Amino acid sequence: MNRRQMLAGLASTAALSHFESRAANVNNAYLELIVWRFHNSEENQASRTSEFLQNGLQPALSRAGARLIGAFSNVIATDGPYYVTLSQYASLANLQEVREKLAGDDAYQQAVKTLSSGPGLPFVRVESNLLRCFDGMPQPAVSADGHRIFEWRTYESQSFTTLARKIRMFNHGEMQIFERLGMRPVFFGETIIGPKQPNLMYMLSYDDLAAREKLWRAFGSDPEWQKLRSHPELADAQIVANISNVILQPLKFSAIR
C-alpha cells in the first residue's frame, strides 16, 4: 500500500468534517508543557509555586501576548508531587517575543524574586517540553466544563518516520473517534524540544475515573478503531515503542477545567 492509499483509507474511517473545519485557515499553536517537581517539606513548595503561577506567570503571559491555559496537579502518577502547566503561543516567533517581554516586565520579575525568597527551595526541578499542535487539531480546546479529570499521555516512537505515521493516524481517524465517543480531547502535539524523542503528547478529559474506564473500553471495541488499526503499518508494534500516562486535576485558577 502506498502513502496515498494509506491516507485515503485513514480518512474513510471517520467523519472528518468537524476537525477539518476547526483546522481550516488556523495556524498550528505551540504549547510549552512544564512539569514543576516538588518534595513534601516545610518549604511549602506547591503552595509557593501555585501563588507564582496564578499571580505572577499567568497575568504576565497575558500582558506579553501568550496564555497560561492549563495548570494541573498530579492525581495518579509516579514521582509526585508535581504540577503541570500548559502555555500557548501563536508561533515560535511569538514565543521569542514573549520571553523578551517577560525579561522586561517588572511585575513578573518581582514575582520571580518572591517565589525564590522563601525558606529553602521553591521547587526541586522544572522540566519543559515544547510541542507543535497537530494539523488535525491546530489549537487546544480551552474550556471550563466544571469538575473533570485529565489524562496526559505520551507516545514514544521507534523513529521519526514511525512518529510521522502515528501522527497521520491521529490526524486522519483516531482523534475523531476520541471526540465521537466523548473523550473530549484537549490537545495533540508533537514534541520538538524535550526528552525521550521522538514522541508525541496529548490530553483527554473525563467526568471521573469511572467514565474514563468506560470510554477506553468503548474505544477498544469501536468498529472504526478496529478498522483503522488493522492496517499492518499502523500496528502499535510498528509505530509506538512505549506509552505512559498520568491522571491530573486542574488547579483552581486553570482556564482549562
Q: What is the pLDDT of residues 148-192, one digit of tens each?
A: 899 999 999 999 999 999 999 999 999 999 999 999 999 999 999
Per-residue pLDDT at 210 exceeds 90? yes
Residue whose cell numbers read 521507534: 158
Instruction: Please report the beta strands in 52-148, taking only residues with DSSP state E, as ranges in sequence order.
Output: 67-76, 82-89, 125-133
Q: What is the pLDDT of residue 21?
A: 45
For the chain, percent of residues with pLDDT exceeding 90: 81
Instruction: Please report the beta strands in 38-113, taking only residues with DSSP state E, as ranges in sequence order.
Output: 67-76, 82-89
Q: Closest Cα to residue 153, out of 210, 216, 90?
A: 216
- For the chain, how many residues are written? 257
Contact call for residues 155 and 165 (beta carbons, < 8 A): no
Say how many C-beta atoms besides its own lie within 10 A of residue 40's C-beta. 10
Per-residue pLDDT at 16 exceeds 60? no
Say how many C-beta atoms besides its own lie within 10 A of residue 141's C-beta. 16
Q: What is the pTM of this model?
A: 0.89
The b-or-e profile of 156-189 (16+ CB within 10 A means b, else e) is bbbeeebbebbbbbbbbbbbbbbbebebbbbbbb
Mean of all residue pLDDT scores within the chain? 91
Q: Which domains does the chain have, with CATH numbers?
A: 1-28+134-251 (3.30.70.100), 29-132 (3.30.70.100)
Mean pLDDT of 238-249: 96
SS3 (DSSP) at 13? coil
Q: What is the pLDDT of residue 113?
A: 97
Digit-coded pLDDT (tens) for 26-52: 899 999 999 999 998 889 999 999 999
Per-residue pLDDT at 4 exceeds 70? no
Burial, 200: exposed, middle or buried (Cβ in 10 Å; 0-12, 13-18, 19+)? buried
Per-residue pLDDT at 145 exceeds 90? no
Contact call for residues 128 and 33 (beta carbons, < 8 A): yes
Q: Closest Cα to residue 72, out of 171, 150, 158?
A: 150
Report residue 50 as a C-alpha cell. 501555585
